[in-house]
Amino acid sequence: MSSRWMLGVHGLAVLLLLPLAADAAAAKCRIRNPDVSIAGVMLTDAESAIAVVGSNAKLIESEDDLPHARFVSTNGVEELVLFAPYGAVADEYAEAEVRYAGPEALVLKDLPIESFKTGRGVQLGMSVAEVQALFGTCFKSRQKTGPDLFFEYEIEKADRDPELTKFGFPVYYAEYEFKNGKLVRYRFGFAFP
- Tell me the per-residue pLDDT of 65-100, one tens digit each, with 9 for 90 and over: 999 999 999 999 999 999 999 888 899 999 999 999
Q: Model confidence over 138-175: pLDDT tens digits?
A: 888 788 888 899 999 999 999 999 999 999 999 999 99
Domain span holding position 68: 32-190
What residues are paired with 148 via a beta bridge?
Answer: 145, 179
Residue 182 belongs to a domain: yes
Residue 17 belongs to a domain: no
Residue 18 belongs to a domain: no
Residue 1 belongs to a domain: no
Which residues neighbour 80 within 8 Å (Cβ) at sequence distance 6 or greater?
38, 39, 70, 71, 72, 73, 96, 97, 98, 111, 116
Q: Which pLDDT value is given to residue 120?
A: 96
Residue 99 belongs to a domain: yes
Nearest alpha carbon to residue 117 among 108, 109, 126: 126
Q: What percent of the chain has pLDDT over 90?
A: 69
The domain total for the chain is: 1
Residue 7 belongs to a domain: no
Residue 5 belongs to a domain: no
Residue 22 belongs to a domain: no
